[in-house]
Amino acid sequence: MELPKEIVERVNQLEEKYSSMGQSLESYLDGLLLSNYLTYWDYTQVDTLLTLQNPKTDFPDELIFIIYHQITELYFKLSLHEFNQIANNGRHIKPNGHDLGWKNSLDVKFFTERVVRINRYFEALTKSFDIMVDGMEREQFLRYRMALLPASGFQSAQYRMIEISATDFFNLVDKDVRPQFEGKQASIEEMFPFIYWNKGATELATGKKTLTLEQFEKKYSEKFMALANEYKTKNLWAKYKALSQQDQQNPQLINALKELDVNVNVNWPLMHYKSAVRYLNQGQDDVPATGGTNWQKYLPPRFQKRIFYPELWSAEEKENWGKGWVETNVFRTR
Ligand code: HEM
């Protein structure tokens, strides 16, 4: 039987692919003959996925809390996937990767589209955050959370990796300490002890680092510093500044970057803050958070003033960062 030309072409291509790596196409074809058909459940690993929800108590609403955190982490993973491609000029670097002949340059269209994707993921998260704010019984939440001490979303490593991938590390230094590093070209190791999030993990009573932070540092500090060093020249802002002058003026790209700044540093944090207010705020005597922190002073973006792209905002916009939205969106519904 004569094989169709398209098949012969593919076989030749496969021969080339395997022989270039010193592999035998014949053996791989044997593997193909023996391998099973792919199913939805194997591909998506749905059975494994559905074993990953293990509440610590029997309160039914705890399942919502776990699953929504997991959904968030998956969107964070997608966001990091886009950051990774921008950082690596359109390639997603994988150690066992097979070269698809994919691009190795960063044009403004690709750059913008990837930033828009990250915006979409964060918008999906912000819009769905009502699942947390309104979707659980407060009485149940206040009971089952006691079984989760001292764990906190504060310990989400991907959230910090997104920040490190998005901006110059300097912008993540606590805003009160930042002037001391201004124009100094300080190393990541010098700046890391002053990272903004330490402020959110100080014990109200003693001013000491919380256990939540100590455990987080033990597990991730090295990794964060390594990533920050790697991303010195590959973070989103560095990649933007490496574009031509003309591309840097691209209005769609500038808009996408500004939206990213607001999505990650204002909109998501405010929706998240709204959930803390809903469950933990009791007028004068707030319920302490599981991480035992000063969350009321720490979480609102107007206090943190975390801004990834300060050069893209006017002095007034920076001054009013995160204000306004709070009054209308967080407290109006209470
Ligand atoms: C009822 C829902 C929630 C409440 C009441 C809540 C409460 C809090 C509080 C009080 C903090 C401050 C640190 C601490 O004392 O623990 C915090 C931090 C944090 N939480 Fe949540 N949280 C909720 C849901 C979530 C979800 C679904 C995520 C998704 C991963 C998340 C991620 C974070 C992150 C990333 C921080 C650190 C924020 C920063 O450093 O600016 N939280 N949360």
User: What is the 3 state secondary structure string of 167-222?
Assistant: CCHHHHECCCCHHHHCCCCCCHHHHHHHEHHHHHHECCCCCCECHHHHHHHHHHHH
Nearest to 242 by CA among 251, 232, 233: 233
Digitized pLDDT (tens) for each residue of the chain, 334 residues in all:
899 999 999 999 999 999 999 999 999 999 999 999 999 999 999 999 999 999 999 999 999 999 999 999 999 999 999 999 999 998 766 666 666 666 678 999 999 999 999 999 999 999 999 999 999 999 999 999 999 999 999 999 999 999 999 999 999 999 999 999 998 999 999 999 999 999 888 877 788 999 999 999 999 999 999 999 999 999 999 999 999 999 999 999 999 999 999 999 999 999 999 999 999 987 656 676 666 667 888 999 999 999 999 999 999 999 999 987 655 555 544 3
Q: Which atom of ligand 1 is nearest to the CA of 279?
A: 5
Kindly state if the Cβ of 291 falls inside 6 Å of ligand 1: yes
- Would you state the pLDDT for residue 333? 42
Contact partners, residue 76, CB within 8 Å, separation at least 6: 156, 158, 159, 161, 162
Compute the distance from residue 130 Cα to the ligand 1 centre, in Å: 14
Q: State how far Cα 277 lies from the chain centre.
A: 23
pLDDT of 218 reads 98
| Ligand 1 touching residue 268 (CB < 6 A) | no
Mutate which of 138, 145, 152, 210 to test ligand 1's pocket (most atoms within 8 Å of Cβ)?
152
Q: Is the CB of 288 under 6 A from ligand 1?
A: no
Q: How far is CA 291 from CA 32, 172, 295, in A?
A: 52, 21, 9
Contact 156, 164 (CB under 8 A): no
| C-beta 76 within 6 A of ligand 1 | no
Q: Within a 10 A sphere around the Cβ of 22, how many other Cβ atoms?
A: 6
Residue nearest to ligand 1 atom 26, measured at CA: 69
b/e burial code for range 272-288 (CB count within 10 A of at least 16 → b): bbbbbbbbbbeeeeeee
* Residue 275 near ligand 1, beta carbon < 6 Å: yes
CA of 292 to the centre of ligand 1 (A): 12
Residue 118 Cα to ligand 1 middle (Å): 20
For the Cβ of 132 lying below 6 angstroms from any atom of ligand 1, the answer is yes
Q: Report CA(155)–ligand 1 centroid distance (Å).
A: 9
The CB of 154 under 6 Å from ligand 1? The reply is yes
d(CA 71, ligand 1 centre) in Å: 14
- Report which of 297, 304, 248, 301 is spatially closest to residue 272, judged by C-alpha positions: 301
Domain boundaries, the chain: 58-88+106-331
The answer, yes or no, to whether the previous bond of 193 is cis (omega within 30 of 0) is: no
Specify the CATH architecture of the domain 58-88+106-331: Up-down Bundle (1.20)
Per-residue pLDDT at 29: 97
Say what the pLDDT of residue 202 is.
Answer: 81
Which atom of ligand 1 is closest in space to residue 156's alpha carbon?
35
| Best residue for ligand 1 mutational test, from 63, 154, 210, 302 (most atoms within 8 Å of Cβ) | 154
Question: Is any ligand 1 atom within 6 A of the Cβ of residue 156?
Answer: yes
CA 21 to ligand 1 centroid distance, Å: 48
Ligand 1 center to 276 CA (angstroms): 7
Tell me, using a 6 A CB cutoff, whether residue 326 lines ligand 1: no
Cα of 106 to ligand 1 centre, how many Å? Answer: 35
Percent of the chain as helix, strand, coil, to the nearest 5: 65, 0, 35
Residue count (the chain): 334
